[in-house]
Amino acid sequence: MEARSRLRAKEPDMRFFDNLTPWNKRLLWLARARAEEVGYRFAWQNNGHVLVRKDEGDKVIRIQDECDLEKMV
């Protein structure tokens, strides 16, 4: 029982990006790199869109192209 609870407690470190185009995969990768650079805590994808947020409760920024990465200040 103890082993089972330890397995359930650990979150899987897997991510699936099968709904992203090659362009959006690259954009997500760039957004995550930029987010780390400027101190954003969140960068994710949802329904094929790349989204970032600086902190909990802050406004979500949708990244549509590389120029939008400059909005992350």
For the chain, domain boundaries: 2-71
What does the buried/exposed string (b/e) look like for 19-53 if buried means 16 or more CB atoms within 10 Å of the residue's CB? Answer: ebeeebeebbeebbebbeeeebeebebeeeebbbb
So what's the pLDDT on residue 17?
59
Q: pLDDT tens-digit profile of 16-56?
A: 656 788 999 999 999 999 999 999 999 999 988 999 999 99
**CA atoms within 13 A of residue 5's CA, in its CB half-sphere:** 2
- The CB density around residue 72, as the number of other CB atoms within 10 Å, is 17
Specify the pLDDT at position 19. 76
- Whether this model's pTM surpasses 0.75: no
- Cα–Cα distance for residue pair 32/26, rounded to 1 Å: 10
Cβ atoms of 62 and 50 closer than 8 Å: yes
